[in-house]
């Protein structure tokens, strides 16, 4: 086991109250595995990744739980200790490469800085490594493009640069936060293929943060579905797509357009909106949007239960003799 997150709780203390963005979640990632976390905006996906990296900005803070990377609790490390791990053993691709890259530094200088911070090599060797990584991620004429500034590259190229930077020190875990957002479908496919090849080449684990279930079906081994800071379902990719259990997951899958659907019916849409985190509904946080809501759903919070390797947080299912029993 490479990463183990246990009962992670992340809070934001605001003037109007405390928002629990990540609420007691637990999961593991093994070496060479691609784990996807999916959910709507506000579900806690990105906050989870920032909590792991130790990059939360005030007023956010990790209020409880453990983040064990190779049996070391990252929560208990100082910033100096974390800096030795970040960008080295654990790397991250952020959502928007244009804001993540320094606009006044050449591409080569930004990648070389990361390499020389974590690897004991000369500036000449760091430049050679930079060009090698740009070539690995598919940047044409990498030696020449290394001299470019970020604004001289397309969105897809900047995403590749961010990937090259993240992979430059051969990390054991790569966190990719919405790596295909705002890219056209052709570039999306190329970025996903690149991540898959890097996983195969380096036996690297990937935590893929996304709201796109199409991306998940192509890239991931296992999937976690989050809603309002909680894990509501967890399964391997085939099981989740073949037999989604939680009504929220069912709604997400029904919302995906089907190319072979010739009906005139409007695309399915989950009713309502994600609740205000300062005014959460009592009981199940999805109860006010759920077509299968029962009376107890508005009063009690369901527990995450595991049956035959498939986890679900819903009163529609009860664990009984190792089988799922639908209410």
Identify each DSSP E strand in 99-229 by its residue range: 173-177, 205-210, 222-227
Average pLDDT over residues 140-161: 92
| 198: phi then psi, degrees, rounded to nearest 5 | -65, -35
pLDDT in tens, 255-307: 887 777 667 778 788 988 889 888 888 899 999 999 999 999 999 999 999 98
Measured CA to CA, the distance from residue 213 to residue 307 in angstroms comes to 23
Identify each DSSP E strand in the chain by its residue range: 3-14, 17-29, 34-38, 60-69, 72-73, 90-93, 173-177, 205-210, 222-227, 230-236, 305-307, 310-312, 317-320, 323-326
The pLDDT value given to residue 100: 80
316-325: Cβ within 8 A, 24+ apart = 316/245, 316/247, 316/292, 317/245, 324/245
With contact defined as beta carbons under 8 Å apart, do 64 and 21 qualify? no
Look over the chain and give the mean of its residue pLDDT values, rounded to a whole number.
89
- What's the pTM? 0.90
Tokens of 38: 């999916």
With contact defined as beta carbons under 8 Å apart, do 211 and 243 qualify? no
pLDDT in tens, 121-135: 999 999 999 999 999
DSSP code of residue 284: S
Q: How many other CB atoms are found less than 10 A from the CB of residue 281?
A: 15
Enumerate domains of the chain plus CATH numbers: 3-89+171-285 (3.40.50.300), 102-168 (no CATH)
pLDDT in tens, 222-233: 999 999 999 999
The pLDDT value given to residue 215: 84
51 pLDDT band (50/70/90 cuts)? Answer: very high
């Amino acid at each position: 086991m490479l990463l183990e997150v246990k009962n992670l709780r992340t809070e934001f203390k605001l003037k109007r109250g405390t928002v629990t963005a990540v609420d007691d979640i637990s999961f593991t990632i093994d070496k060479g595995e691609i784990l996807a976390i999916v959910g709507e905006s506000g579900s806690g996906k990105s906050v989870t990744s920032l909590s792991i990296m130790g990059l939360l900005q005030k007023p956010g803070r990790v209020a409880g739980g453990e983040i064990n990377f190779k049996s070391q609790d990252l929560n208990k490390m100082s910033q100096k200790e974390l800096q030795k791990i970040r960008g080295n053993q654990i790397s991250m691709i952020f959502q928007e490469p244009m804001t993540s890259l320094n606009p006044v530094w050449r591409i080569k200088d930004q990648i070389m800085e990361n390499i020389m911070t974590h690897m004991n090599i000369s500036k000449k060797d760091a430049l050679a490594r930079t060009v090698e990584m740009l070539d690995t991620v598919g940047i044409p004429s990498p030696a020449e493009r290394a001299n470019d500034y970020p604004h001289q590259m397309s969105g897809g190229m900047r995403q590749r640069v961010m990937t090259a930077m993240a992979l430059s020190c051969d990390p054991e875990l790569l966190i990719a936060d919405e790596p295909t957002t705002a890219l056209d479908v052709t570039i999306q496919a190329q970025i996903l293929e690149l991540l898959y090849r890097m996983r195969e080449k380096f036996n690297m684990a990937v935590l893929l943060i996304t709201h796109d279930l199409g991306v998940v079906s192509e890239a991931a081994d296992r999937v976690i579905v989050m809603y309002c800071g909680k894990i509501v379902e967890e399964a391997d990719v085939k099981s989740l797509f073949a037999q989604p259990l939680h009504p929220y997951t069912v709604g997400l899958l029904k919302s995906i357009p089907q190319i072979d659907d010739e009906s005139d019916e409007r695309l399915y849409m989950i009713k309502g909106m994600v609740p205000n985190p300062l005014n959460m509904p009592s009981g199940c946080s999805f109860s006010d949007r759920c077509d299968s809501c029962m009376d107890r759903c508005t009063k009690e919070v369901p527990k995450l239960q595991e049956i035959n390797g498939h986890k679900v947080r819903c009163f529609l299912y009860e664990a009984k003799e190792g089988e799922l029993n639908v209410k």
